[in-house]
Amino acid sequence: MVAPGALLAEGDYEAGFNVYHDGEKLYASMVGLADLRNGAVSVIPLRGCYLPQPGDVVIGKVVECISTAWMLDIRSPYQGVLFASEFLSKPLNPLREEARRFLDVGEMVIANVIAFDRTRNPSLSTKDHGLGKIQRGTVIDVDFTRVPRIIGKKGSMISMLKKESGAQIFVGQNGRVWISGKTRDDEAVVAEAIRKIEAEAHTNGLTDRIREFLLSNRR
């Protein structure tokens, strides 16, 4: 955790969100969590809205269908743009086919942020393995600043959640979590466990408490 004016890095680094240069030194401009990713240093605010970065994998909700693309709510001031060429395996002919035939308003997708520079809406893609339309399961929203705690060091927390619950779980960088269990009740238990992680993120012994919670609620 860093405060405004804290020295974050010096040398060949890029200034990301909420970071400013003074010569070759980079400083925090707000209170938050320091983050180094792909050579860029950023500060993630403790509270606020998600700001996308290229390389982030997010869960978006379709809010508008246009001729050859979809606009997605990604829990950000910016809407994500998913062009048909980054979603479909074949070209979309808008004169013969409607985009909503393949992806309609209200549906969810897991997508990769492939471009964003604050001058236009971020571009998304589902071309990588494991991405695409969500067909089943439950999606919940959490504070995006709690994503690192839900994942855990080296993936320890998310691995434990999957092992003890038997559910598929994906955590988007924008604070949306997809849960797919054997039953809706199983998904509800995992969702409650994730809510507990979100609420108790800064407490000690959290992993053990969450494991005990899952074991005691196993059906």
Residue 218: pLDDT above 80?
no
Mean pLDDT of 50-79: 92
Higher pLDDT, 41 or 109: 109
Residue 57: pLDDT above 90?
yes
Q: What confidence tens digit (pLDDT) does each residue in 13-50 have?
A: 988 878 888 889 999 987 778 888 778 888 876 666 78
Residue 90: pLDDT above 90?
no
Mean pLDDT of 52-73: 94
For the CA atoms of 216, 210, 162, 132, the dihedral, rounded to the nearest 10 degrees, stands at: 120
Q: What is the pLDDT of residue 47?
A: 64
Q: What is the pLDDT of residue 204?
A: 84
Domains of the chain with bracketed CATH:
7-45 (2.40.50.100), 57-133 (2.40.50.140), 138-216 (3.30.1370.10)
Joined tokens for residue 218 = 């196993």
